[in-house]
Structure 1
Amino acid sequence: MDSLKFLLISSLISASTSLQQDIQAKLGADVTLQCQIFTDEIISVLKWSRADLNTDGYVYFYRNKRFYENYQHPSFHGRVKLRDPEMKDGDVSVILKNVTFNDTGIYECHIAVRNPVRSKRAHTEISHFINLTVTGETHENMKLVKTGDGNMEEVVEVETRTDQMVVPAVCAAAAVTVIVITAGFVAMWRFKRKKQQHMEADNQQLAAATPLPTLRSQMAAVRLLLFLPLAYVSAALQLGLQAKLGDDVTLHCQIITDERISVLKWSRADLNTDGYVYFYRNKRSYENYQHPSFHGRVKLRDPEMKDGDVSLILKNVTFNDAGIYECHIAVRNPVRSKRVHTEISHFINLTVTGEVHKKTCWRITSWKEKMLMETLRLNRLKHRLS
C-alpha cells in the first residue's frame, strides 16, 4: 500500500515539474513565489535558486530543519523568508520583499523528500519553475546592464524630445519679439516727432541741441533693435523636409543681410563629436573638419553665397542621413569692430523614406516677408548713414 501511494505521488510530482508558472510583480512590492508538494514525507532539502546566480549563491537554502544564510546570494539577504516556517501541508513558498528589476528571472524550487519508513538514502527530488517579471511605471526608461562582475545593474535612459525643446523656445522668442518690436516702434515714433520739432523750430539753439550725428546714432540703435528679434525668431523655427532614398536633397538656409558671412557650420547633434556636415570659415571650406560619412556628398548651392544663400545640397541620401540639421551662421559688419558679430541658427528636420514624398516646408507669411524686407532696407540705410 505504501509503495502504491509513493508511485501515485511521484507521478503527480513529475507532472507538476514540467509546468512553469508565470507571475508579474510591481516594482517595490512584496511577491510570493508559490511552491507546494502534496506528500507526507519529510522535506530534507529545499533550494530556491536562479540560473544566472547559481555560482554566487542561492535565493534560499534549507536542509535538515534549518536555514543556511551563508549559502544565500548577497542581493537576497534579509529579503526572503518562508511563507510558512513550519512548511505545513508541504507549503515551501517564499516571500520576496521589495522587488527590483534585478529580481526578474526564472526561479527554481528544488525539493528533496525522504520517506521515514524507508532507508535514509531513498529519497525523491522535485523541481518547480517560476518566471518572475517585474514591472513598474518607470520600466520604459530603465534597462538592465551586465557589469564586469556578472551582476545586473539598473540604468535609467533619459530621452529628450525635440518638440519639448523647440516649442518653449518659439514661445519665448515670440514674447521677446513682441516686447522689443513694440519698444522699437515707440522709440521710432519719438524720434520722428523730435526730428519734426527740430525742422519746424525757428530757434537755431534748439536745433543745435540735438545734432544730426546724434539722431543718426539713435536711428541705427532702433534699427538694430528691430533686426535682432527677427534673427531670434528665425533661430527658433524648424523646417520639416522629406526625401526619397537615393535622391539629392537641398537643405535650405538663407540670411537677409549685407554683412559678411565669416563662419558657416552645418551640423547634426548626434554627429557633433565626430565632425561637421559642412564647415566654412574666412572664405574657405575645411574638409578635414567634416564627418567621414559626408565626404564628397555635400556642396553649397551657391558657392559665392549671394544674397545670403547658404543652402546645402546633400547627394544620394540614405536612412542614416535622417535627423535634425543645424545651419549656424556668424556674420560680421566690416565697418564695425572685428569682434562685433551676430550669430544665427536655423534647424531642418530631414526624414528619409523609401517612398516618393513631396517636400514640405514652412513658408513665411506675407507680413513676416514684409518685415524682413523692411529690416533689410533699414539695415542698408544704416550703413549709408554710418
Structure 2
Amino acid sequence: MNVKCVLAFIFLLVLSTAGGKAALRDQKNITVESGQSVMLPCRAPNNNSSSIIVVEWSRADLGDEYVLSYRDEQFDPDNQHPSFKNRVDLQDRQMNDGDVSLILNNVTTANSGTYECRVFMGETRSWISSSIYLSVSDPPDQKNITAASGQNVNLTCRAPNNNIRDVEWSRADLETKHVLMYRDEQFVPEEQHPSFKNRVDLQDRQMKDGDVSLILNNVTTADSGTYECRVFMKEPNRRKRANVDPDLISIIYLTVLPPAPPGGTTEDGEKKDGVARGHYGELVDFGLLLVVILVVFLVVISKKHKKDPALPPPPDEEAKKEVV
C-alpha cells in the first residue's frame, strides 16, 4: 500500500469519526405548571428536511427507551417509553426548515428533567444535539387569610423538597423591593422593603421538608394585599446560577381588619362597657315596665276623682230637731 492510500484512509477515518459525534449546543431552561402543554425547541442546521434521517428525543433516566423516536420517515412506537405514549408529537411533522421541536401535552412533575434532542443528518452523515432542562411545578395554592390589627400571621408556603437555593416573598405594589429575600443561605436586607424590616422571618430557617412559610408580626391595615412565594430550586450538576424564573409556589391574599373601637364589642354586637344583657337585663326591663304601668294607673285614677262632684256634709242634730 503506497503512502497516498494510507493518508487517504486516515483522512477518511478521522472524518467519519468526527462526523459521528454530535455537535452540542447550549442548554435551555423551561419552566411550566402541571397540566399545561409545552414545546421543547430543536432545529436542524439546514432547511432541507429530506436530509433528516433520524430524530431522537430522550431523557437519561428512561434508559434505552425514548420520549419520541423517528426513523425511516416514520415514528417508532416500539422504543417509546410508556409514560409518553399519546402525549408527544413533533410540532411540524414535515420538519420544514429543520424544525424538530417536541410538543409534550398535559405535563406533570414527573416530567421534570433534562431532555436531549439528537438529529442525524444524511447529507453530512453527522449528528447534532441540544439539551433542554424542563421544570414542572404544581399550580400555586391560592389562599385567603383575615387577621386583626396587631396579630402575628403565618403565610404558608411549601416547596417540593428542601433542595432550595433562593426564596422570594413579594407583593406587587412594592415594585422592585421584597417582603423577604433569602439567597445563598442568608437573608438579603438590601432587597427588603423598609415597612417589613424586623417584622418578618421564615417559620423554619432550616426549611425542612421545603417549608418556606413567612411569619409577619404586628400586622396593620397597610399589610393587606396579595403575597407571592417564589422558590429557586438547586439544579443537579450546575455550579452557576441559571438565568431562569423562580417557581411560583403560593399566592395568599391577606386582609387586615382595622382596630376595634374603644371598649370593644361583644359577640352580640353590644358594647362591653354598656348594660350587661341576659337575664339581669330582662329583669331590669320588666321592672321598668311595671313602674310605667303604675304611673299610668295613678294618673288615670287621679283624673277620675277630679271629675266626681263633692258630697254635701251630713246635717247636725239641731237641724234634724227643727225639722221635726
TM band (smaller chain): 0.3 to 0.5
TM-score in terms of structure 2 length: 0.39
Q: Which is higher, the Rg of structure 1 or of structure 2? A: 2
TM-score in terms of structure 1 length: 0.33
Higher helix share: 1
Higher relative contact order (CA 8 A, sep 6+): 2
